């Protein structure tokens, strides 16, 4: 939401892509549709790509989502090669559209240790994009933008506020309750709550349990 809001503020027309990868937290698909409409996206494509067929993650397999707090190492919520897959799909659509700017909301500071949220990954993908496409080879180069890359979660909350975005529309939780609440205890909920607290902003999120409890 915030990455798209920044893109819009810089004058870009938005073509929003959501991957329905049969993730545990599928409620985020509803949030994505609401956000795309609120931001005035020219088009919002929801692309089915069932990564449960591969498994290997607490988000795509029968593996419990950790609730004990953010720890060391790469957690089981890491989905194998997810951002590489997502950016590759976005690259294909961008080339077909004639677009050359791709925005992604990855963050390298307050994150859970995912290798595909690092600057090195971003730079390597951009280089690959310009080697692997007709547009790139012909000199019409792609740029991969990650405006949140060096922001803390507090910075991101402040940026949403600056852009007058409704943060309550966004979704973070990896393991939502049956009645559609953020669980409050997964890594993503804890980092989200911490960001609003450190930003000094009211947290509009409805949690089933108080984050950190």
Q: Tell me the pLDDT tens digit for each residue of 156-167.
A: 999 999 999 999
Mean pLDDT, the chain, integer: 94
Q: What number is the average pLDDT over the span 47-66?
A: 95
pLDDT for 91-142, tens place per residue? Answer: 999 999 999 999 999 998 756 678 999 999 999 999 999 999 999 999 999 9
pLDDT of 35 strictly over 90: yes
Cβ partners under 8 Å of residue 195, min gap 6: 110, 152, 153, 154, 156, 157
Q: What number is the average pLDDT over the span 36-52?
A: 97
Distances (CA, A) of 207 to 54, 69, 193, 194: 30, 15, 10, 13
pLDDT at 25: 84
pLDDT bracket for residue 212 (50, 70, 90): confident
pLDDT of 72 strictly over 80: no
pLDDT of 189 strictly over 80: yes
Question: Can you list the pairs that 28-37 forms with residues at least 24 positions away whose Cβ atoms lie under 8 Å?
Answer: 28/171, 30/171, 31/169, 31/170, 31/171, 32/171, 34/169, 35/1, 35/4, 35/169, 35/170, 36/4
End-to-end CA distance of the chain: 27
pLDDT bracket for residue 176 (50, 70, 90): very high
CATH topology for 2-199 is Rossmann fold (3.40.50)
pLDDT at 69: 75
pLDDT of 68 strictly over 90: no
pLDDT at 128: 98
Residue ranges covered by each domain of the chain: 2-199
pLDDT at 108: 85
């Amino acid at each position: 939401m915030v990455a798209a809001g920044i893109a819009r503020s810089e004058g870009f027309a938005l073509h929003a892509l959501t991957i329905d990868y049969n993730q545990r937290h599928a409620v985020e698909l509803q949030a994505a549709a609401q956000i795309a409409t609120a931001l005035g996206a020219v088009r919002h494509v929801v692309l089915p790509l069932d990564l449960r067929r591969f498994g290997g993650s607490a988000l795509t397999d029968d593996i419990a989502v950790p609730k004990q707090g953010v720890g060391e190492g790469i957690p089981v919520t890491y989905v194998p090669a997810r951002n590489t897959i997502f950016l590759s799909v976005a690259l294909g659509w961008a080339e077909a559209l004639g677009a050359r700017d791709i925005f992604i909301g990855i963050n390298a500071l307050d994150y859970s240790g995912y290798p595909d949220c690092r600057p090195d990954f971003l730079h390597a993908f951009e280089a690959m994009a310009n080697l692997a496409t007709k547009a790139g080879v012909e000199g019409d180069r792609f740029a991969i933008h990650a405006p949140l890359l060096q922001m803390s979660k507090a910075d991101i909350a402040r940026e949403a506020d600056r852009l007058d975005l409704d943060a309550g529309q966004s979704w973070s939780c990896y393991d939502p309750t049956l009645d559609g609440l953020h669980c409050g205890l997964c890594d993503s909920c804890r980092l989200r709550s911490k960001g609003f607290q450190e930003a000094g902003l009211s947290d509009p999120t409805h949690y089933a349990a108080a984050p950190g409890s």
